[in-house]
Amino acid sequence: MPMSVFPTDDLETRPTTLPDTLEGVRGIDLHLHSTASDGKLSPAELADLCHARGLTHVALTDHDTIEGVVEAQARCRHHGINLMTAAELSCQWRGIGIHIVALLPQGASRNFESGLEILARARELRSREIAHRLEKVGLADGLAKARREAGSERPLGRPDFAAALVTAGVVADTKTAFKRYLGAGKRGDVKMHWPELATVVGWIRETGGVAVVAHPLRYGMTRRKRDLLFSAFIDAGGEAAELVSGYQNPDTTHDLARQLDFHGLYGSIGSDFHYPGGPLSPGTISPPPRSHVKPVWCHPALRRFACGE
Ligand code: AMP
Ligand code: MN
Ligand code: MN
Ligand code: MN
């Protein structure tokens, strides 16, 4: 059974320093989205919800951007929440689209921001290619339609094309849009514009950050393939992976813990929250099991974040 979040009435007694095990942890969510990417809440609204859910330590991880961080930071400060600058970076490894969470306790350097510009351009080119490919399945003028669905000038993502397909009546719902046209390996899953895994991990390292493989169980990989991914990631300077992302099967999580332990990776946790009304809320994750995996906030670079300094 997935565990819901803890009640909010224990805010007074919350620890000022974080525990050194993942088991039983609460109040932390290091994977959250806002309207700066494909989330539905503004950064300030997200901060309010995190507060209402009793979170004390969070990271805003919008896709390929830190645009929302300033607004979220102001609101988190107001609530006494520790927010870390972060982003979820798109890249590719062996032709597979991979997401790497960049935890940036020192903020973003100029070099890192140049990396984000490269990703923004890649996203732009990719959008054109996706629109082009979706013409063949009956979506005319897809770029403009996806832009309309996004409702702002933010970079477009596959969810915007999914919404455009639904509005145009090509498919009945978003789920079908991904299943048929946008999900992994489908025609709208365009990865060629993304930088290589080692490149984005390099940007994160150079800015004093910690690189985290996002939702390692969501790439449809065998365990063996995941081993290869983790090895390549570590060779590039990566140091952590999400042990729990939203809801996970306990047996699978247990096995993933063994795999992270084997590779000496720190473990992170996050809901991957995008919008209210769905199954997930900020702070909602399946409970991390007892394991030898060290929490990512025990990484020396995250000490200040963990201590709330
Ligand atoms: P992008 O960053 O443009 O590649 O889009 C990836 C985003 O699409 C993910 O972060 C999710 O928010 C969303 N997504 C991926 N797969 C699905 C799916 N099967 N159903 C709904 N949304 C999805
Ligand atoms: Mn998303
Ligand atoms: Mn992701
Ligand atoms: Mn995400």
With a cut of 80, say whether residue 245 has pLDDT above it.
yes
The verdict on 43 and 150 lying in the same domain is: no
Residues with CB under 6 A from ligand 1: 38, 63, 90, 157-159, 174-175, 178, 183, 274
Domain termination site, one of 159, 182, 205: 182
Measured from the alpha carbon of residue 129, the closest ligand is 1
The verdict on 110 and 228 lying in the same domain is: yes
For residues 167 and 149, the answer to whether their CB atoms sit within 8 Å is yes
Over residues 277-286, mean pLDDT: 94
d(CA 171, CA 79): 42
Query: Among 205, 203, 202, which residue's Cα sits nearest to residue 111?
Result: 203
- Listed in sequence order, the residues at least 6 apart from 143 whose beta carbon sits closer than 8 Å to its beta carbon are 127, 128, 131, 156
d(CA 241, CA 256): 10
Over residues 81-87, mean pLDDT: 98
Looking at the chain, the number of H-run helices and the number of E-run strands are 10, 7
List pLDDT tens digits, range 5-24: 444 444 444 455 789 999 99
Give a yes or no: residue 21 inside a domain: no
Q: Which domain holds residue 225?
A: 28-114+196-307
Over residues 46-56, mean pLDDT: 98
Total domains, the chain: 2
d(CA 266, CA 209): 13
Question: What type of residue sits at position 158?
Answer: R
- How crowded is residue 104: how many other Cβ atoms within 10 Å of its Cβ? 22
Give a yes or no: residue 44 inside a domain: yes
The verdict on 213 and 302 lying in the same domain is: yes
For residues 250 and 280, the answer to whether their CB atoms sit within 8 Å is no
CA 151 / ligand 2 centre spacing (Å) = 16
